[in-house]
Homo-oligomer: A and B are copies of this chain.
């Protein structure tokens, strides 16, 4: 089932426009290539509408945002909405600065996102809203654990209903929800947190998955999460003595490069709530 989603990426080679931070952009590009998609990066306001028009999906990541690139995000998002393209928001650092919080919330007000993906802290910030925006109840714990799971699933579904977006909250336990169903995913390893940008990489890959699976967007988003987590497990199994986070980064991308539907179906650990 989820395995079909990655097979569709490899078959359809979705072109994904990324407006993303300069810290992890190279890894984002290589991960999109590894899973079977094709990445283009562009953030200049005069360039983004043309670029997004030739793509099927748009990945907006607000890490290292600036005034110029924020303008590019609004323009690209509007164009993508107009064309019915897949749109994904990764609100990196929402809650950490006023500019990031306001940009993420402003983008959500102007653009209908297919998916919003972040950690629990970022997503809670978006849910609480700011200024005139009134958010849903964000009174969930700061980490999704077995104890807080039921509450967190409810929160994710409520936010999905309110935003009409798929909500992906990643952490030790990952949640991928629409208004009715929530995938609870337990792939991955804690050592992935010692590599910069595994979240950014996941967002880029998720945009490719959802773009290639227009009839199963929730499953596609969940499949991307399982693919990243499973690649983290496979990559870790190939680590040798002395290898650290830099080699681990390579091994994870390598594992995505080799991922197929059968491997994904066999390794994906999830339940639907």
Contact = CB atoms under 8 A, between A and B. Distances in A.
Interface of A: 21-27, 29-30, 33-34, 39-44, 46-47, 50-51, 54, 63-68, 93, 96-100, 194-197, 234, 238, 242-247, 249-258
A23 B29 contact: yes
A63 B255 CA distance: 28
A79 to B, nearest CB: 12
Given A51-B96, A196-B29, A244 B253 contact: yes
Contacts of A234: 242
**Chief secondary structure at chain A's binding surface:** helix
Task: Count the copies.
Answer: 3
A34 B246 contact: yes
B249 A30 contact: yes
A250 B253 contact: no
23 contacts: A22-B25, A22-B41, A24-B26, A30-B196, A33-B245, A43-B66, A44-B66, A47-B65, A47-B97, A47-B100, A50-B99, A51-B96, A54-B96, A234-B242, A244-B254, A244-B255, A244-B258, A246-B249, A246-B250, A246-B251, A246-B252, A246-B257, A247-B254
A88 B51 CA distance: 24
A96 B15 CA distance: 12
Given A50-B97, A245-B253, 5 more contacts: A26-B26, A46-B67, A244-B255, A246-B252, A246-B254
Nearest to A254: B244
B254 A245 contact: yes
Contacts of A40: 93, 96
A41 B63 contact: yes
B46 A64 contact: no
A82 B242 CA distance: 41
Given A23-B29, A26-B23, A33-B195, A97 B42 contact: yes
B64 A196 contact: no
Contacts of A46: 67, 99
A44 B26 contact: no
A40 B63 CA distance: 9
